[in-house]
Structure 1
Amino acid sequence: MNTLQNQAFEINSDVLACIEKKEADFIDNGHLLPGYLSHMNIANLYKEVRDCHLVDTGTFQKIGGISELINQLTKQVQRARYERCMLKLAKAYKGYKIDLPAFLDFRGRIYRCGLLHFHERDLSRSLINFAFSNPEMPADSDEVMEALLYHYKSYPSLEEAGISFNESLGEAEMQGRVDPILLGREARHHFQFIAAQKALVKKKIEGFPVTKDASASAFQIMSYFLLDEDMAKSTNLLPSKDKKIKDIYTNILSEVKEYIVRELGNNSLSLIVVRKMDRKMVKSIFMPMIYGKTLMNTSSDIHKSLSQHINLLDSHILASLCFKFWKEKYKGMDSLTSLIRNIGWFAAAKGVPVYYVVPYFRTSQDYMKSDVVKITVYDRNHKRRQISLRVHTDNRDRRKTEVSTFVNFIHQKDAYIAMLVVEKMLIEGGPIYTVHDNFLTTPHYSRKLPSLYADAILELGPPLAIINDMIYANLIWNAEGSSPEGWSHGGGSGRVIPIGELENYLENNMPDGISKKMEATWRQRMKALLLSYESYASSISGVSQDYVGHLDMWLKFGDKVRFFPEGMRKNALHP
C-alpha cells in the first residue's frame, strides 16, 4: 500500500491547455458547462423557477413540471461546480509531482480518496498522467492507439475497431473535421479521446495512462468457483474463439427474453419485455442477484422501470421468471450462495464473528442488532424535543450476517486478486494504480496486465479448498469434537469433507439452552447447509481433477491480434 500510494502523477498539461484554449467550443458542443452555472445559488434558483412557473404554467407542464425542472437544473449546477473544481485543481497542481492516497476497507478492497483521481468522470481521468520516465524503454504507441479506439466507441473486437474507426476518419476528412475536438464530438469518452490523440501526436507515450478493467469481476470469480467455462468466456476471463469482447449482461438479455417468451407465450406481457427490457435493466436485476437480492426487491425494481406498461402483478410475474431462469441457467451458483450464507448464519447463531481468510489477512465481520433510544435535546431556540438514536446491543444480527456473508466473501476474494496484481506489477517494476478491479498503468506495462491478472486468479488455488477454508474458520476451528491433526486448516488439497463428519460438527456444537424453536431452525439450517455443500462439491468434482493444470490451460492468453488498416495510424496522428 505504501508503494502504491507513492506512485507519482502529473497533470496532463496538453489536455489542460487545449481545454483553456478552446473552452467555448467545448461548451457549445455540450462537453463542458458554462462557468457561471457553478456560481448559482440553488435556493435562489428554486425561487426564480417557482415565480416563472406562476407566470407561464403551460410551458412548465410541457417540460415535465416544476419539480422535474428543478431536479435537472440542480444536476447541471452540481456538474458545473465539479468541472470548475477539477480545472482549478489541475491548474494549481500543474508542474508538480502529485500522489493519490488510498485506503482499505475491512474486506481489503482498495479505495482512492481525494478530489482528483482517475476513478471518476471523463474530464478528471483525462487530466492526469503517470510521472514515469525510462529512456531505455521503447515507445509503445499500439496500446495508446487501442485506447484511442475504445475511447471513441465500444467495439466487439480490435479488428472491427480498426475498420470502423478508419471509416469514421474517412468521413471526418470528407467533412473537414480533422481537428481532434471536432473528430471527438461523437466519442463516448470525449476528453480521454483527446488525451490519447495528443499523446500520439506529440509522442508523449511513456506516461500515458492505459486502463484495463476486469469485466464483471464478481461473475468472473463465480465462474472460477463454479468452474463454468461458458461464464468465464462471457466475462472475458477466458478468450473466445472469435476473439471478440463479450458482455455477460448482453448475453443474459437475449437469453432471458427468449426464456420469458417461451414461458409466457406470445402475449402482450412478453411483447413488452421484448421491446422494453434492455441491458441496463438486466444488469440491475441480475448483478445484485448473486449478492442475495430478494424476489420482492427485484419485482419492485422491474415495476419502477416499466411502470408505464405493467402493473404490480405483472412485475411480480416477470421477477419470478427471472429467478426461475437464473436457477435453471446457473444451478451451481444457487448452491454456493446458499452454502456461504448459511455458514454466516451458523457463526452468528453460535455467537461468534464471521471470519474470511486469505493468505495476506483475515477479515472479521460482526454485525450487532440496534435498539432505538430516545433522548431529549434542546435546539438553538431552547425548545425541548426528542430525537431517536440507534444504539448497538450485544445481540448478533443473524439476518444481516446471513445476507451480507456472501457479498463480503466475494468482495474479499476480489480484493485479494487486486492485491496480487499490484504486487506482481511492482515486482515487474512498472507503475500501477487501481480501484477495486480497475487497473491503470503505462502503455508498455499494460501488455502484461492480462497475464498478471490470470496468474493472480490461479494463485487462489482449488475452489473447494477455499470453501473448506471458510467452513473450517467458522464451523470447525475451536469447535467441540474438531480434530485439527486430521483436518488441516487450508482444506488440504481441496478434498470433499465427508458429510457425516460435517454433520457431527454442527450437531455437537449446537448452543446450550436454546429454545425448541431455535433448535428446529438450527436443524433446518444444518440440513440446508449439508445439502448445499454436497450439491456444490459434486458439481465441480468432475472438473477438479488436476484442477490447476486445467485452469492454467484455460487462462493462457494468446498474443492479441493487432489489426490496424493501412493509413489508419497516419490519419489518427494527423494534428
Structure 2
Amino acid sequence: MTLILRLTSVRSFRVTVPTLGSSAGLGSVWFGGCPTCDKLRTSATRYQNSVGFRTYANVAAKKKDPRLELYTVLSSRAQQLSKPEKGEVVRQRQKKQEILKTRKVSSHVRLEPVMSPPRPPEHTLSQRGLSSKSNINMYTSDQVEKMQSSQRNVSAPRWQTQHKKPFRSAPRVTESVVEKELDVLEEMEEEEAQEKLDVSRRQEEMEKMKNVERRQNEEQAYILSFMEACVSIGEVERATRTLHYLKNQKKKRKHLNADIYNVVLKGWAKQANMDKIRHLFFMMTKDGHHPNLQSYAAALECMGRAGLTGAVPMRCVKQMYKEGFNLENIFRDCTFQADEQEYILKAIQDGCGMADFAPPPLPLPQRCTTDLVSSIYADKSNDNYSDTSLQARPLFTEEEVVERCNAQLEMETQHWLKVESVEGQRQSSQEVLKLRELLQTHKTMWETGLLQAFRTLKKQMDRQSKAKGQVNIYPFLCVLEEQEYVDMMVQAICLVAVTGDPLLIIARDLGTKIQQKYRIKQKLQSGSVEKIRQIYQDYCSFMVNNVQGGRPGQARELWYQLEGDHSVSPVVGDECAWPINLIINLGSLLVDVMVREVKIDNNLFRKTSEQKLIPALYHMYTYRNIKQVGIIKPHPMLVQLVEGAQDTSLVFDSSLLPMLMPPVPWSSVKKGGFLLSPTKLMRSNDATLQHELLLEKVGTSELYPILDSLNQLGACAWKINQPILDLVIQVFNNKGSKELDIPQPVSEAPTFPKVGTEMLTNGDKQAMRKQMAQVRKLRSEMHSLRMDMLYKLSIANRFRHEIFYFPHNMDFRGRVYPCPPHFNHLGSDVARSILVFAEGHPLGEKGLDWLKIHLVNLTGFKKKNSQTERLEYANEMMEEVLDSADHPMMGRKWWMTADEPWQALACCMEIANAVRSPDPQAYISHFPVHQDGSCNGLQHYAALGRDITGAHQVNLMPAESPQDVYSGVARQVEKLRATDAEQGVKIAQVLDGFINRKVVKQTVMTVVYGVTRYGGRLQIQRQLKDIPDFPQDHGWEASGYLVKKVFMSLREIFTLAREIQDWLTESARLISHVGSAVQWVTPLGLPVVQPYHKVKNKLVRNEIQNIILNVSSDTSERPDIIKQKNAFPPNFIHSLDSTHMMLTSLHCQQAGIQYVSVHDCFWTHACTVDTMNRICRQQFVVLHSQPILEDLSKYLLAEYGTLPSELETSPTAVSKHDKLMEVLVDVPSKGDFDLNRVLDSTYFFS
C-alpha cells in the first residue's frame, strides 16, 4: 500500500521509505514544514541508516528479491530529500509562521489513500534535481495494478467525502498507523544505541577501575619513598608518626601495605627497639596487613642486635612457620644490606639455640631451554679456547686491574666527572679571562644565597611535617648534604643561561639527579660497596684475560658465583623508584629557590663601581606548538656573562660516560651495567613500569640469550684513534666545516641587516618577521649541533689515552644501544672514525684486501660493482689513498669526496700503515671492518614470505654483482614518470632527469619501517632541495607525486612483503579495538609490548607552577589505535633484526672472535670478516627456518582469543572479536624461495 501525507503547508516534498506491513512493502510520505513533518522526516532518515533496513536489504539480496533495486533507489532518494538546502529550510519555517499567524491549524497532516503514486508539484521535484516522470517510473506496472486492485473493494472514509477529490474509495488509514511503524523503527534504533551505550559504560567503568588502581599505586610509591627517606636520614620516629596519621585517615588508610610497614620495621630493627617492633606488628595485624617474610626478617634482625635469647625468638620463629614461611626462605628470598644477614643468623643460632643452622647454598643457575640457542648452552667444555691464534696479550696487568677498578668505583661514587672542553685548548683573550673571574665571583655569591634559602626551605617543610604528621617533601631535602643540593642548582643556572629550558625539563633533571645520588649514598651507607669492589676486581681479572669474556654465559655465571663467595644476597633489593610527581615537585622547589635568590649585577658591563643586583632568572610563560608552557628565562646579562666566559670544563654524570673496565654483566633484569649508577635493562618511559613487569613474568633463564648477548657487546674494549681525533678537533676549533659535517659555531649563522620600521610596509614587516624566525630557528639548530659535537670530542679527548667499555641495554623491541649517549660507536661518521678496537690482531692472508674493500664501501663509489671490481679499484687508487693518509688537509683531499669522509680517512691511514710495514700479513690491526645488510628490513620481509622476486632484489640470492633495490625502485618510478609525461602530466614532465637513487633511497629504506606517505613526501622533498637545478617552486607537488610512485613500485616489486605488512597492520588494528596493546614474543624469547596509549594529562601541583604531564605510556589508558597499528609492522621487523644480531653475537663469542653491531651493520677485525660472514648467514637461515608468522598467529590467538567476561553480552564487542579471530588465523601464504641460498649470497651482508 502507498501512504500519502497531504500537508496544509504549500511547500512540501516527498520521501519514499519501506513501510512495515504494506502489501507492496513500500510507503510514500509527503513532508512539509511543520513539527510533525520534521519528526517524520527525521525518523525516516534514521530508518535508512538503521540495522533493520540494512538487514532487510541483505536478506532481499540473498533471496534475489526483485524489490531490492527499488529499495536501493528509494534509499538514495530519501537521503537526498531528507537534507534540504539551508535556504529551503528557512523558507519553510517562514511560511509555517505566516500560516500560524493567520489561522489556527488543528491538524497539519491528513492521510488519504490513492490508487496510484501521486505526482508531487513539478517545481518541488525540479528543485531537487528530479522529475515527476522519474518518480512514477520507480513503480512497476505490476505493483501499481496490485495496489489498485487491493483498493477497489474498500469504502471511502468520511474525511474523503468531505473533500471533493477525484479519488476512488479506499480504506481509512490513520496517522497512528504511520506513527506505530515509526515507533517500531525507533525502538530498534534505541536498542542499538543502548547497546553501544552499555559497551561504552562498561569500558568507562574498566578505565575508572584502572585509574583508581594507578592512583593508589602512585600514592603507595610516594608514601613508600617518604618512609624510606625518613629511615635513611635517621628519622624513624617521624616515619612512625606519619604511619599513625595515615592509619587514622579513612581515605589514606587504604594506601598502606606490608611493604610500607616493613620499611619502618627495618628502621627500628637497626636501633634494636623491640617494643616498637611489637607495636608495628600489632598495627599490621589489626589493619589486615599480614606480616610477610621481610617483616619476620626485620624482627629477627632486631632480636639479634638486642641480644635476645630464649622464648621471644622462638615464638617469632614458630609464628613464622605457622604463617607458612621457613628460615631457609629468608636467606633465599629476602634482601639484605650491610650486616643485616649476620644479625639474623645470630638471632637464629644464638637466640633460638639452633647452633647448627646454616644459610642454604645458592641455587644452581637454571639452563636456558630456547631452541634457537640450546646447542650453545649445552656445550660448556670450551671455557678456555684452545685456539690461541686470536688470543691477544692481556690488556692490563693485575696491578692495573686493581687501579682501574678503584678509579671506576670512585667516579661512580662521586656521580660526576669534570671534563676539559676541547674549545678550552684555544688561546683565551684578556676579555675572556676577565669574564671568567666575574662568573666565578657570581657563583660564589649564588652559593651563599642559595645555601641560606635552602636551609630556610628545610625548616619550613620540617615544621609542616612535624605539626600534622603528613607526607611531604622534607626528608627528600635531607638525603644529601646541603652543599650537594647547592652545587646542583649552580650547575643548573649555567645550563639555563645557555638553553632557557621549560620548567618541566629543569625540574625533572634536578629531581632525577638527587634520586641517583641518593641511591649511590644508600649503597655506600649499607657497606655493600666494599663487597662490590672485591667482586668487581676478581671479575675483571678474568675478563681481561679472555677474548670476549669466554664462552656465552660464562661472565654471567662467574659474577653469580663471586656474589655467593662474598655472601651477597642473590635477590636484588627492589629499590623504591620515586614517582614522577615526587621528582618534579622536588626539582620545582629547587627551581623556585633559584628564581627567588639568584641575582646578577645590572652594572656588570658598565663603567661604574656601584653594584645593583637584579634577578638573573625569570619564570614566565610562552607558547610552543600552540600550548602554553612555563619556562625559566635567563636575563640577557646572565647569558652574556656565561657565554662570554667560555667555561673550559664540562660536567657529566658518570652514567653518561664510558667505563674504565668491563661493565657488570647482566645476570637478571635488574642487575647489570654500571657498578653503582642504576641501569635499566630495557629503556622505557619513566611513567610506566609496563616493560619491567613484563620481563619479571618471564623466567630469568629464558632471558639468558638476551642477557649474554648484551654482556658480549659490552665486553668489547675500545680506544681512541688519536690522529683522527686531532684532525677533527683542529677543524672544529677552526669554525667547523659544513662539507665535512663538523658543526659551525653560531657566529657563522646568517644575519639580517637592521632596517628602520618606518621604511617598511606591512607586507615587508611580515616578511621580515618570517625571515627573523627562520634565522632564530637556524641559530638554535646550529647551537644544538655544535654542543653535541663538543660533548663527543671533549669526552673522546678525556679518554684519549684510556681503554674503555660501553655497557649496553635495549629498547622495548630488543634493539641494542650503548648506555652512554653522547659518545659511542652508534654515532655519526665522526664518532665512528675516532673509535678502534683496543685488541689488535694480525691482518693475515685476506685482512688487507678486506680493508681495501671496506674503504671503497665507505666512499660509495662502487655500490653496483662486485667485490673483485672494488678491490681492483682500491689498488688503482692507492696513490690517492696514501696521499690522503699523509697529507689529509694539504694534499689532493681524495678522502673528502667519500660518502663517509672521516671513516674513509681513518681507513686510508690504516691501509698506509699496513702496506708500509715489513710484513703486511703480520701487521697488528685494531681497525673495525663493517658488513652492512642490504636493506635489512626488506630482507626479513622477503625471507618471511619466501618471496623470490623480493629476495633477488635484496641480495638473498647469490649473484655476480650486488643488486641495488634503491636503483631498482628508481628505475621503476622513472618508467611510470615517463608514461605520465607522454600523457601530458605536467609535474611528470618537470621531474624529467631528476629521479635517481638518492632521491628515493631514504623512503624505500623506511617504508618497511612504517613511514607514512606524508613522512615519505617530506623525505623526498628534502632530497629534491639538495638538487641545484631542480625548480624548487615545484618541490611540494613533485614530492607528493613521487611518493605515490615509490609506494606503487614497492607494491609491485615486493608483493608478498606488502601482504605480510597489511596482515600485521590489520591484526594490530583489531587488537587495539578490543582494548589491548599489541604484544608478542621474539623467537629468542624476549616479550615485547607496544607502549602506545591515549595521551593522559596528569597534573602535578607545586608552588612555582602547576605542571601538566602528557603521559602516552600509561597502561591504565586505552591503546592508541593509530599508533598501535602503524607501529606493529616496523616494530615486529625490528624485533627480528635484533634477534638475528643477538644470534650472530652469541655464535661469534663461541667462535672466539671480536664482534659489535650497529643494528644491521656488523663489525669485526679484518682477519675475521669471513668467519663473521659465515655465522651471520647461518643464523639468518636458522632464524627464518622457524615458523615465525605461524608462531605469532598462535601467540596472538592465545593472548587475545578470550573475550573479557564483561563484554561477552555485547553483540558489537563479540562481532569485533570474531573478526579479529578470522584475521589472526588467516596467516599470509608463502612463496617458493629456498632459504639455504642465503648461505651462498656474497652480498647478503657486504
Question: What TM bracket, shorter-length normalisation?
Answer: 0.7 to 0.9
Structure-2 separation of matches of 1:449 and 1:172: 27
Aligned partner of 2:926: which letter?
A: G
The share of aligned pairs that are identical, in percent, is: 18
Aligned partner of 1:332: which letter?
A: L
The structure 1 residue matched to 2:831, chosen from 91, 113, 124, is: 124
Deviations 1:132-174 (A, max 9, x none): 135796782222222233334431223443454555556899x
280-289 or 369-378: bigger deviation: 369-378
Give the match for residue 157 of structure 2. Answer: none
Aligned partner of 2:1142: which letter?
A: M
Aligned partner of 1:90: which letter?
A: A
Structure-1 separation of matches of 2:979 and 2:1015: 24
Q: Does 1:474 align with 2:1196?
A: yes
Measure how far apart 1:435 and its partner are. Answer: 2.3
Change in 2 beyond 3 A, CA 1:319/1:26? closer
Structure-2 separation of matches of 1:360 and 1:104: 14
Deviations 1:235-294 (A, max 9, x none): 2333323x2x33212210111221343356442222234434443442444444334445
Give the match for residue 1051 of structure 2. Answer: 327
The structure 2 residue matched to 1:404, chosen from 1092, 1108, 1127, is: 1127
Give the match for residue 677 of structure 2. Answer: none
SS for the counterpart of 1:370 is: coil
Deviations 1:72-128 (A, max 9, x none): 454444444444433332222122110012211121111123222122222221211
Report matched runs for 1:548-567 at 5 Å: 550-557=1234-1241
Larger radius of gyration: 2
Aligned partner of 2:948: which letter?
A: E
Q: Does 1:85 align with 2:791?
A: yes
Larger relative contact order (Cα-Cα within 8 Å, sequence gap ≥ 6): 1
Report matched runs for 1:128-527 at 5 Å: 128-134=835-841, 140-155=847-862, 156-157=864-865, 158-165=867-874, 168=877, 179-181=887-889, 182=891, 183=893, 184-203=895-914, 205-241=924-960, 243=961, 245-262=962-979, 265-267=982-984, 268-295=986-1013, 308-309=1033-1034, 319-365=1043-1089, 367=1091, 369-370=1093-1094, 372-373=1096-1097, 375=1099, 377=1101, 380=1104, 387=1108, 389-390=1110-1111, 392=1114, 393-462=1116-1185, 465-476=1187-1198, 479=1201, 512-516=1208-1212, 518-522=1213-1217
Q: Does 1:7 align with 2:716?
A: yes
Measure how far apart 1:473 and its partner are. Answer: 0.6
324-333 or 410-419: bigger deviation: 324-333
Aligned partner of 1:553: which letter?
A: R
Structure-1 separation of matches of 2:838 and 2:1191: 42
SS for the counterpart of 2:1034 is: coil
Measure how far apart 1:455 and its partner are. Answer: 0.8
Change in 2 beyond 3 A, CA 1:290/1:265? farther
Q: Decide whether the 8 Å contact of 2:718 with 2:838 is kept in 1.
A: yes
The structure 2 residue matched to 1:16, chosen from 721, 725, 729, is: 725
Q: Decide whether the 8 Å contact of 1:355 with 1:473 is kept in 2.
A: no
Q: How many residues align?
A: 505
Structure-2 separation of matches of 1:339 and 1:261: 33
Change in 2 beyond 3 A, CA 1:450/1:229? farther
Measure how far apart 1:415 and its partner are. Answer: 0.6
Structure-2 separation of matches of 1:180 and 1:386: 53
Q: Does 1:104 align with 2:810?
A: yes
Give the match for residue 751 of structure 2. Answer: 49
Give the match for residue 485 of structure 1. Answer: none
Change in 2 beyond 3 A, CA 1:528/1:287? farther
Deviations 1:39-59 (A, max 9, x none): x6x8xx99x93565769999x
Q: Decide whether the 8 Å contact of 2:1077 with 2:1090 is kept in 1.
A: yes
Q: Decide whether the 8 Å contact of 2:841 with 2:924 is kept in 1.
A: no
Unmatched 5+ stretches in structure 2:
1-709, 915-922, 1025-1031
SS for the counterpart of 2:1183 is: coil
RMSD: 4.3
Structure-2 separation of matches of 1:318 and 1:29: 29
Change in 2 beyond 3 A, CA 1:335/1:30? closer
Aligned partner of 1:262: which letter?
A: T
Structure-1 separation of matches of 2:1130 and 2:1005: 11
SS for the counterpart of 2:993 is: helix
366-375 or 207-216: bigger deviation: 366-375
Structure-2 separation of matches of 1:166 and 1:144: 11
299-308 or 177-186: bigger deviation: 299-308
Q: Decide whether the 8 Å contact of 1:418 with 1:436 is kept in 2.
A: yes
Aligned partner of 2:1000: which letter?
A: V
Change in 2 beyond 3 A, CA 1:26/1:302? closer
Change in 2 beyond 3 A, CA 1:65/1:365? same
Deviations 1:192-216 (A, max 9, x none): 2222222233336421111122121
Give the match for residue 489 of structure 1. Answer: none
Deviations 1:312-347 (A, max 9, x none): 6x8766555544443333322232122223333444
Change in 2 beyond 3 A, CA 1:329/1:454? same
Q: Decide whether the 8 Å contact of 2:731 with 2:737 is kept in 1.
A: no
Aligned partner of 1:551: which letter?
A: L
Deviations 1:347-392 (A, max 9, x none): 4455555342334323232556436447485674xxx778474474
Taking structure 1 as the reference length, what is the TM-score of the superposition? 0.73
Structure-2 separation of matches of 1:262 and 1:510: 57
Measure how far apart 1:21 and its partner are. Answer: 7.8
Q: Decide whether the 8 Å contact of 2:885 with 2:909 is kept in 1.
A: no
Taking structure 2 as the reference length, what is the TM-score of the superposition? 0.36
Change in 2 beyond 3 A, CA 1:82/1:337? closer
Measure how far apart 1:515 and its partner are. Answer: 4.1
Unmatched 5+ stretches in structure 1:
481-505, 544-549, 563-575
